[in-house]
């Protein structure tokens, strides 16, 4: 449909029809009557009115969605179809590693492939849009939703944000097999105070602008169709009614022209925040903030009409919001084909197709981190091995947002090992409480694999914890095993960087498997036995102790920096009981081969503003296995008008280097990379010295420097 036609359509719609387009409800209101509970009963919506709302969340399956859509075409006065949206976060039926694991791949291209596969699979089941990617920066692993983002670094998160959008949407969400993406939760939801979900965000303006906002902006620049408001307050105002955040930052500064949707009942929750007196005020303020869709509250549904009739809300705002929604429907091609890619044939062709199952395995090869290895890995198939821990046999390793996953398809570590390494001498004791007899067996093995960590029920929305440690039962298991066998390989599952100091202490090797998805356990098995050379890196610091949180590598220097990590220094910025540094820092990760870096060389040690220079290193694979190496470029502004982080990631490449071969990697440094909000809040680069570090971790000491001049 042309835009003129859309505008004509808008003009012909009644007030109530327009408002209905701004309403999103879950599928319980449609089809065979389902039980509606609690406040949802008070929405007082049924029959024809229900079949005129703009969008529905959380339902899937072509036949089911077709019957709902047919109801819309029949009942909506202008036959406007609904958009079907759902949380397809890291896969639809075929589940890929959780987003934090994808962050660990240090390969945004992987996320594009995953997004594309997920879009194809879910669109075949009739979906049109996903509430993904979650691009919230997270530096506190007490927050269970850190599992849904790609970690602690603004630059890396931004690259993943763009890739996810490209993966889901392609060049246009209207293309075959593509869906509309939604960047969430705007803004700074990941900064939840003390890691407690839904608590407030307490950030200074510079931290908000420089660290928390870039990933949303990257998604907007990549053309994301929707943005979701966050539950939290920013500067003490709930995001859904926060004019500065929505109008000034998102619409004006970032130039977002797409559909702004509230989080689930987030407009309604502004009352509980104590920021709105009633639902009418909430509706009015959310409209003034250009929130186009009210997800699962009845503020718009039951209160907007009065606000408009009384002139308290400008009718123009309603027209603008409604038009943005109609435009999205048009981009998706729904006026021509309301089912889009949904069909029985497509469901048969794409759901659990070989290509996606294979991707769920190869993705985990890139997301599984080798955190520690004293040489015990890779394991030798000729040696006697035992595997213990209930998580080794658990199917609850896809993730709490894998809401459409069918558990029977998930491969466990136990079944992967049995299938791939049938000839190996492995004793399976996949439980957390073991007998004396089993302990004897364990003591006679050459190596013991111990599965610890958290299953999917321990991370995700509302899953905050005060202690980010393994369970007491698992600690006891590890202790018992360690008492009779020193050759422990710990495999850690879970959706957050746990505090692994105790695990590290008794283990010869530690592998972070995350929640690897449908077929990810195959990858973990292959890494154990060296068929796959690990290449993943830490995307979010692993603390020594929960007391260190929040934690990130790119902190500001202190006026009293700790001289070194050896011991405690009185009246310096350090702890008396734990180191300052994390156990495993950002960017850390081991390989089965060794990479040696040359010194960093610069094309010039002076850079004029507006010009560029290049930084180069040569990397040699001196081990005897081919492998990928995430080469990381960090920059530090030595002296500026405001204090600048000790270093910041500004570039990344992940070349494949064959054993005994060398490769030169070069990065272009430009002025944009050096900009920050200065004393007057101008985004600018200041002249002076900049340090450059290139290496395989955020602690790389391979350094040089240059001067920026006018």
Which residues does the annotation mark as catalytic? 263
CB of 295 to ligand BGC, least distance (A): 7
Figure out which of the listed residues 92, 96, 131, 584 binds ligand BGC, where binding follows CB under 6 A: 131
C-alpha 389/C-alpha 497 separation (Å) is: 19
Residue 54's alpha-carbon distances to 229, 292, 294, 323, 330, in angstroms, are: 18, 10, 10, 11, 13
Can you tell me the distance from the alpha carbon of 134 to that of 665, in angstroms, rounded to the nearest whole number?
31
**Smallest separation (angstroms) from ligand BGC to the CB of 461:** 5
Residue selected from 72, 92, 186, 264 as contacting ligand BGC according to rule CB under 6 A: 264
Does 121 contact ligand BGC by CB under 6 A? no
| 461 sits near ligand BGC (criterion: CB under 6 A) | yes
The yes or no reply on residue 667 touching ligand BGC (CB under 6 A) is no
For 28: left if phi > 0, alpha if psi spans -120 to 50, otherwise beta; the answer is alpha
Give least dist CB 197 to ligand BGC, A.
Answer: 9
Q: How far is the CB of 174 from ligand BGC (least distance, A)?
A: 22
How many helical (H) and strand (E) elements, i.e. helices and strands, does the chain have?
20, 29
677-683 long-range Cβ contacts below 8 angstroms, 24+ apart: 677/205, 677/206, 677/209, 677/210, 677/642, 678/640, 678/641, 678/642, 679/641, 679/642, 681/205, 681/206
Strand 55-57 to strand 83-86: parallel, antiparallel, or no bridges (unpaired)? parallel
Q: Are 76 and 51 in contact (CB under 8 A)?
A: yes
Q: How many residues bind ligand BGC (CB under 6 A)?
A: 7
Tell me the closest approach of the beta carbon of residue 84 to ligand BGC, in angstroms.
13
Residue nearer to ligand BGC on the CB measure, 134 or 631:
134
463 binds ligand BGC (CB under 6 A): no
Binding to ligand BGC (CB under 6 A) within 79-118 occurs at 87
- Using alpha carbons, select from 509, 515, 397, 379 the residue that is nearest to residue 450: 509
What tokens appear for 64 in the block? Answer: 């089911």
CB of 85 to ligand BGC, least distance (A): 8
Closest residue to bound ligand BGC by CB: 131
- DSSP output for 599-645: --EES-SEEETT--EEEEEEEEE-SSS-EE--EEEEEEESS-SS---
Our finding on whether 584 is near ligand BGC (CB under 6 A) is no
Instruction: Give least dist CB 598 to ligand BGC, A.
Output: 45
Print the binding letters for residues 36-75 with ligand BGC: x by CB under 6 A, - otherwise.
---------------------x------------------
Residue 450 φ then ψ, to 5°? -115, 120
Closer to ligand BGC by CB, 120 or 145: give it: 145
**Helix, strand, or coil (residue 298):** coil
Using the minimum distance from each CB to ligand BGC, give the nearer residue, 50 or 57: 57
The smaller minimum CB distance to ligand BGC, of residues 140 and 263, is found at 263
How far, in Å, CA of 314 to CA of 440, rounded?
A: 77
Q: Which is nearer to ligand BGC, 230 or 665 (CB)?
A: 230
Asked if 646 and 556 count as a contact pair (C-beta separation under 8 A), the reply is yes
In terms of CB distance, is 36 or 663 closer to ligand BGC?
36
Distance of alpha carbon 659 from alpha carbon 167, whole angstroms: 32
Smallest distance from ligand BGC to CB 169, Å: 17
Select from 17, 162, 263, 637 the one that contacts ligand BGC (CB under 6 A). Answer: 263
Interface residue with ligand BGC, options 139, 142, 184, 647 (CB under 6 A): 184
Whose tokens are 């090797």? That residue is: 509
- Span between the terminal Cα atoms of the chain, in Å: 51
Among 4, 77, 63, 64, residue whose Cα is nearest residue 34: 64
Cβ nearer to ligand BGC, comparing 145 with 458 = 145
* Footprint on this chain of ligand BGC (rule: CB under 6 A): 57, 87, 131, 184, 263-264, 461
């Amino acid at each position: 449909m042309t835009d003129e036609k859309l505008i004509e359509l808008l003009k012909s719609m009644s007030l109530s029809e327009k408002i209905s387009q701004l309403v999103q409800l879950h599928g319980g209101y449609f089809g065979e009557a389902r039980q509606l509970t609690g406040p949802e009963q008070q929405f007082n919506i049924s029959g024809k009115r229900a079949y005129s709302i703009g969008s529905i969340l959380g339902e899937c399956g072509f036949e089911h969605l077709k019957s709902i859509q047919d109801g819309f075409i029949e009942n909506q006065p202008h036959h406007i179809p609904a958009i079907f949206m759902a949380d397809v976060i890291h896969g639809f039926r075929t589940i890929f590693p959780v987003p934090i694991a994808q962050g660990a791949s240090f390969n945004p291209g992987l996320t594009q492939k995953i997004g594309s596969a997920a879009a194809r699979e879910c669109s075949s089941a009739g979906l049109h849009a996903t509430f993904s990617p979650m691009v919230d920066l997270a530096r506190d692993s007490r927050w269970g939703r850190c599992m849904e983002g790609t970690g602690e670094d603004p630059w890396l998160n931004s690259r993943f944000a763009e890739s996810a959008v490209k993966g889901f949407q392609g060049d246009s969400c209207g293309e075959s097999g593509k869906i509309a993406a939604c960047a969430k939760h705007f803004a700074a939801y990941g900064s939840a105070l003390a890691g407690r979900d839904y608590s407030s965000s307490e950030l200074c303006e510079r931290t908000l602008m420089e660290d928390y906002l870039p990933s949303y902006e990257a998604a907007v620049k990549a053309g994301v169709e929707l943005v979701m408001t966050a539950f939290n307050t920013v500067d003490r105002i709930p995001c859904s009614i926060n004019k500065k955040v929505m109008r000034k930052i998102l619409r004006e500064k970032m130039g977002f022209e797409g559909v702004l949707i509230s989080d689930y009942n987030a407009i309604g929750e502004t009352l509980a925040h104590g920021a709105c007196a009633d639902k009418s005020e909430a509706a009015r303020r959310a409209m003034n903030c250009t929130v186009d869709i009210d997800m699962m509250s009845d503020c718009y549904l039951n209160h907007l009409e009065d606000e408009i009739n009384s002139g308290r809300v400008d009718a123009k705002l309603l027209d603008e919001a409604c038009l943005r929604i109609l435009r999205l429907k048009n981009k998706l091609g729904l006026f021509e084909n309301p089912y889009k890619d949904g069909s029985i044939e497509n469901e048969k062709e794409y759901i659990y197709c070989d290509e996606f199952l294979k991707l769920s395995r190869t993705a985990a090869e890139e997301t599984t981190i080798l955190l520690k290895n004293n040489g015990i890995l890779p394991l030798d198939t000729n040696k006697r091995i035992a595997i213990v821990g209930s998580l080794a046999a658990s199917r609850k390793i896809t993730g709490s947002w894998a809401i459409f996953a069918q558990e029977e398809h998930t491969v466990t570590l136990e079944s992967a090992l049995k299938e791939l390494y049938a000839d190996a001498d492995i004793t399976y004791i996949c439980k957390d409480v073991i007998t004396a007899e089993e302990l004897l067996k364990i003591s006679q093995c050459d190596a013991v694999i111990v599965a610890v960590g958290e299953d999917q029920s321990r991370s995700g929305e509302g899953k905050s914890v005060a202690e980010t440690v393994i369970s007491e039962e698992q600690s006891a298991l590890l202790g018992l095993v360690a008492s009779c066998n020193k050759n422990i390989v710990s495999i850690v599952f879970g959706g957050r960087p746990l505090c692994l100091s105790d695990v590290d202490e008794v283990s010869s090797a530690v592998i972070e498997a995350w929640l690897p998805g449908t077929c990810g356990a195959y990858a973990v098995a292959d890494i154990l036995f060296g068929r796959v050379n690990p290449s993943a890196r830490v995307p979010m610091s692993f603390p020594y102790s929960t007391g260190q949180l929040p934690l990130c590598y790119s902190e500001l220097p202190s006026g009293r920096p700790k001289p070194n990590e050896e011991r405690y220094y009185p009246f310096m910025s350090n702890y008396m009981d734990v180191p300052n540094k994390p156990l495993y820092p950002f960017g850390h990760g081991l390989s089965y081969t060794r990479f040696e870096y040359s010194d960093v060389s610069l094309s010039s040690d002076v850079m004029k503003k507006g010009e560029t220079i290049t930084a180069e290193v040569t990397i040699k694979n001196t081990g005897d296995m081919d492998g990928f190496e995430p080469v990381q470029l960090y920059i530090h502004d030595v002296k500026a008008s405001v204090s600048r982080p000790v270093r910041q990631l500004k570039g990344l490449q992940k070349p494949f280097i064959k054993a005994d071969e060398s490769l030169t990697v070069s990065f272009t440094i430009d002025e944009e990379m050096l900009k920050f909000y200065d004393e007057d809040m101008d985004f600018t680069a200041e002249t002076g010295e900049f340090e450059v570090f290139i290496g395989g971790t955020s602690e790389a000491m391979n350094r040089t420097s240059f001067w920026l001049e006018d």
